[in-house]
Amino acid sequence: MTAPNTVPPNPPAIGQPCPACGQPVESRLVCLACGALLALNPTSPGGLDFFGWFGLPPAMALDTALLSDRWRRLGFRLHPDLHRGDSALGPALALRLSSAVNAAYKMLLDPAARGAYLLAELSRRAGFTPDPKALPEGFLRDMFNLQEQLEESGPAEQQHTRGGLNRQLQALRTERDRLLTEALETALPEAPALTRIQQLLNQEKYLVKLSAE
Ligand SMILES: [Zn+2]
């Protein structure tokens, strides 16, 4: 079944009635109850729209069970066969949105990618983009030393070094999540905080690589 489709000028907020069927909206992209398109510019999402597609508030802490549930239902609702003869959301757009939803789902599920996505929006709000390669002073030297240590030591010592790496990784992630959460609650995020978040995202990549080697 296809929904009567004229896209509303203001997409309803989560929990508000769908203009087409009256059911409370669970996604700001497509009504999961009737399949009506709700977003005005679905192919060029802005701000933090990817969270809205899944009806979730933009945050580092994420209800992954709910995310997966909405992703599955969006996939069903965006099946091209359900949109033949649909004026606002035809089969071709449904197909494009379906793959965009898959990419957004994969991105949101990965905490590092989610952090980078949030940082991009915070940077836009602040009018300040941190250096994408930002790293704390001395970090690369420490990584080099650690790598040498790993290469030159025996199994027991290696295990010890890797234990330390994992603790460092945990600490980085905790700080990353805390700073992102704080910045999201701030009207105008500050440049030093954004730079620190960028550093943490970069440091995480090095540590993940080193602990996997
Ligand atoms: Zn509906």
Give me the helix-helix angle, 139-152 and 191-212, nearest 10°. 10
Could you give the C-alpha distances from 132 to 124, 129, 135, 164, 200, in angstroms and in order? 14, 8, 9, 26, 11
Tell me, in angstroms, the distance from the centre of ligand 1 to residue 17's CA.
Answer: 8
Instruction: Based on the fold, state whether residues 134 and 92 are members of the same structural domain.
Output: no
Question: pLDDT tens for residues 67-118?
Answer: 999 999 999 999 999 989 888 889 999 999 999 999 999 999 999 999 999 9
Is there a domain that residue 69 lies in?
Answer: yes
Q: What is the pTM of this model?
A: 0.91
* Beta carbons of 200 and 176 less than 8 angstroms apart: yes
Instruction: Based on the fold, state whether residues 81 and 145 are members of the same structural domain.
Output: no
CB-neighbour burial class of residue 96 (10 A; exposed 0-12, middle 13-18, buried 19+): middle
Instruction: Based on the fold, state whether residues 62 and 136 are members of the same structural domain.
Output: no
* Beta carbons of 21 and 37 less than 8 angstroms apart: no
Is there a domain that residue 50 lies in?
Answer: yes
Q: Which domain holds residue 134?
A: 128-212
Domain closes at, from 55, 77, 109 = 109
Provide the number of structural domains found in the chain: 2
Tell me, in angstroms, the distance from the centre of ligand 1 to residue 43's CA.
Answer: 20
Report the C-alpha gap between 41 and 28 in whole angstroms: 11
Instruction: Based on the fold, state whether residues 92 and 142 are members of the same structural domain.
Output: no
Tell me, in angstroms, the distance from the centre of ligand 1 to residue 20's CA.
Answer: 5
Tell me, in angstroms, the distance from the centre of ligand 1 to residue 21's CA.
Answer: 4
Instruction: Based on the fold, state whether residues 99 and 20 are members of the same structural domain.
Output: yes
Other beta carbons less than 10 A from residue 190's beta carbon: 14
Name the pLDDT band for 5 (thresholds 50, 70, 90): low
Tell me, in angstroms, the distance from the centre of ligand 1 to residue 114's CA.
Answer: 28
Is there a domain that residue 118 lies in?
Answer: no
Instruction: Based on the fold, state whether residues 189 and 155 are members of the same structural domain.
Output: yes
Domain closes at, from 78, 109, 140 = 109
In this model, does residue 1 exceed pLDDT 60? Answer: no
Q: Which range is least confidently modeled, 8-17, 171-180, 194-203?
A: 8-17
Is there a domain that residue 48 lies in?
Answer: yes
Other beta carbons less than 10 A from residue 194's beta carbon: 22
Instruction: Based on the fold, state whether residues 97 and 163 are members of the same structural domain.
Output: no
Tell me, in angstroms, the distance from the centre of ligand 1 to residue 24's CA.
Answer: 8
Question: pLDDT tens for residues 157-188?
Answer: 999 999 999 999 999 999 999 999 999 999 99
Tell me, in angstroms, the distance from the centre of ligand 1 to residue 25's CA.
Answer: 7
Is there a domain that residue 121 lies in?
Answer: no
Domain closes at, from 109, 142, 161 = 109
Tell me, in angstroms, the distance from the centre of ligand 1 to residue 5's CA.
Answer: 10
Name the pLDDT band for 198 (thresholds 50, 70, 90): very high
Is there a domain that residue 120 lies in?
Answer: no
Tell me, in angstroms, the distance from the centre of ligand 1 to residue 144's CA.
Answer: 56
Tell me, in angstroms, the distance from the centre of ligand 1 to residue 22's CA.
Answer: 6
Tokens 């197909």 map to which residue?
A: 95
Residue 187 in tokens? 């009207």
Tell me, in angstroms, the distance from the centre of ligand 1 to residue 60's CA.
Answer: 29
Instruction: Based on the fold, state whether residues 61 and 144 are members of the same structural domain.
Output: no
**What CATH number does the domain containing 23 carry?**
1.10.287.110
